[in-house]
């Protein structure tokens, strides 16, 4: 099978021929149809984060495809089913987090495309207990971005507690941001969208954003305070300065949700203002299998729209460069057919 492989940090990925793996008792072999490029894959290939993957590895945690074969213990899916293979590759199923609906915090989790090989390949092995069925009527190319960008921002909006009449500021209208703004609107909130690139802001307006702002032109915090301040700010841009702007855009009692994971790992938070203004700061990591199921249900019901362009896996290094340079209006999805 063909696979895109990270052989070392900050070096171009290599397209390799690998043998198709056999599923173990709890595993499924998935023939990938569509596989998204998340900015996390770029962080992985660059070794940007404190916990690093070990090259060689195959990135990709937005893989969608058909179960080709299943191990003897697999009960939730069967050959022929269309499934998504998300970032949460597996968890222990027994710890306090797994048992209380927070499997995404499990300390024994494996992460697809990071600690185990992912979906930038013609086939991927996945834990049959952690794949999520893609419902009839959801296109695989739309399911792919929903598998990380969708579930992550759906969860971020959930943990923000956004309600009708709220103003939600979304910082970074990329793969994640274009879906974040839709989930905030589904929750009934008005959205102010912030990015550095005008085309992304055009997309935000098309998707219903009430206000848009180019952070190169105006200080977003000042602008959003002029609107009365945001009840929630969701930080998705790969830059700590943008996290600080998101913080400063909040009204009293507001919530800052940290989702983006810039290589530069530190932001400045003023203690005094956080205390006196009763600000909440919360980190949010992907979503559970049930969250992803809900994301697919919303999409099947016609409530979200996914913007994507397709590329061939051979074009992986150009695709990464285009995302890094902001030349993609939302998501790139590798067409594996
Ligand atoms: P992306 O490249 O598609 O989008 C990032 C957007 O931010 C782009 O539109 C870019 O123009 C914009 N941007 C960059 N600098 C900015 C600034 N200073 N101000 C405003 N906008 C700015 O990336 P993505 O795939 O949406 O991922 C975003 C981040 O979220 C990455 O760091 C990724 O690793 C992280 N992520 C986190 C989780 C999680 O579970 N917490 C899940 C998936 C991705
Ligand atoms: Zn991702
Ligand atoms: Zn666990």
Query: Domain extents for the chain?
Result: 2-133+307-335, 150-283
pTM of the model: 0.98
Which fold does the domain 150-283 belong to in CATH? Rossmann fold (3.40.50)
Q: What mean pLDDT value characterizes the chain?
A: 98
Is residue 171 lining ligand 1, measured as CB closer than 6 Å? yes
Report the C-alpha gap between 174 and 239 in whole angstroms. Answer: 13
- Nearest CA-CA partner of 84 in 280, 306, 251, 288: 288
Cβ of residue 215 lying under 6 Å from some atom of ligand 1 = yes
Q: Tell me, what's the pLDDT at 160? A: 98
> What is the per-residue pLDDT across 231-258, written as a single tens digit (0 to 9) for each?
999 999 999 999 999 999 999 999 999 9
Compute the distance between CA of residue 224 and CA of residue 238 in angstroms, rounded to an integer: 20
- pLDDT at position 329: 87
Environment class of residue 315 by beta-carbon count within 10 Å: exposed (0-12), middle (13-18) or buried (19+)? middle
Ligand 2 centroid from CA 36, angstroms: 8
Reported confidence tier of residue 173, pLDDT bands at 50, 70, 90: very high
**Band of the pLDDT at 277, cuts 50, 70, 90?**
very high
Between β-strands 110-111 and 88-90, what pairing exists: parallel, antiparallel or unpaired?
Answer: antiparallel
User: Helices 289-300 and 151-160 meet at what angle, rounded to 10?
Assistant: 100
User: Is the pLDDT assigned to residue 197 strictly greater than 90?
Assistant: yes
Give the distance (Å) from ligand 2 centre to CA of residue 155. Answer: 13
**Residue identifier of the C-alpha nearest atom 20 of ligand 1:** 195
Distance 46 CA to ligand 2 centre (A): 15
Domain covering 2-133+307-335 in this structure, CATH number: 3.90.180.10
Which of 238, 247, 282 to probe ligand 1 with, by most ligand atoms within 8 A of CB? Answer: 238
Are 193 and 211 spatial neighbours (Cβ–Cβ below 8 Å)? yes
Ion ligand 2: residues, CB < 5 A: 38, 40, 148
In three state form, how does the secondary structure of 165-201 look? CCEEEEECCCHHHHHHHHHHHHCCCEEEEEECCHHHH
Helical ranges in the chain per DSSP H? 39-46, 96-99, 140-145, 151-160, 175-186, 198-206, 220-226, 240-248, 271-276, 289-300, 316-324
Question: Residue 89's closest CA among 141, 124, 44?
Answer: 124
Per the CB < 8 A criterion, the answer to whether 233 and 213 are in contact is no
Q: Are the folds of 2-133+307-335 and 150-283 the same? A: no
> Can you tell me the mean pLDDT for 59-76?
98
Q: Report how far ligand 1's centroid is from the alpha carbon of 19 (Å).
A: 34
For ligand 1, atom 35, the nearest C-alpha belongs to 260
Distance from C-alpha of 64 to C-alpha of 132, rounded to nearest angstrom:
9
């Amino acid at each position: 099978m063909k696979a895109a492989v990270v052989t070392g940090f900050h070096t171009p990925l290599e397209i390799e021929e690998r043998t198709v793996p056999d599923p173990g008792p709890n595993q499924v072999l998935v023939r990938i149809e569509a596989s998204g490029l998340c900015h996390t894959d770029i962080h992985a290939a660059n070794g940007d984060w404190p916990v690093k993957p070990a090259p060689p590895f195959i990135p990709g945690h937005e893989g969608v495809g058909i179960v080709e074969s299943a191990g003897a213990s697999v009960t939730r899916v069967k050959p022929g089913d269309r499934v998504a293979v998300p970032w949460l590759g597996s968890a222990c199923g027994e710890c306090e987090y797994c048992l209380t609906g927070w499997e995404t915090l499990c300390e024994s989790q494996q992460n697809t495309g990071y600690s185990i090989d992912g979906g930038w390949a013609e086939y991927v092995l996945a834990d049959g207990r952690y794949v999520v069925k893609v419902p009839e009527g959801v296109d695989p190319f739309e399911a792919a971005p929903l598998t990380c960008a969708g579930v992550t921002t759906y969860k971020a909006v959930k943990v923000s507690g956004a309600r009708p009449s709220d103003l939600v500021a979304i910082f970074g209208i990329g793969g994640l941001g274009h879906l974040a703004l839709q989930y905030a609107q589904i929750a009934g909130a008005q959205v102010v969208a912030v990015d550095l690139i005008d085309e992304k802001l055009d997309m935000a307006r098309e998707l219903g954003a009430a206000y848009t702002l180019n952070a190169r032109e105006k200080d977003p915090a000042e602008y959003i305070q002029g609107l009365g301040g945001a009840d929630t700010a969701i930080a998705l841009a790969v830059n700590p300065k943008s996290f600080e702007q998101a913080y400063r855009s909040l009204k009293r009692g507001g919530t800052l949700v940290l989702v983006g994971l810039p290589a530069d790992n530190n932001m400045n938070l003023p203690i005094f203002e956080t205390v006196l203004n009763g600000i909440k700061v919360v980190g949010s990591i992907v979503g559970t299998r049930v969250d992803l199921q809900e994301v697919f249900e919303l999409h099947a019901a016609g409530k979200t729209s996914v913007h994507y362009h397709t590329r061939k896996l051979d074009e992986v290094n150009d695709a990464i460069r285009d995302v890094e340079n902001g030349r993609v209006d939302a998501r790139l999805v590798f067409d594996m057919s």
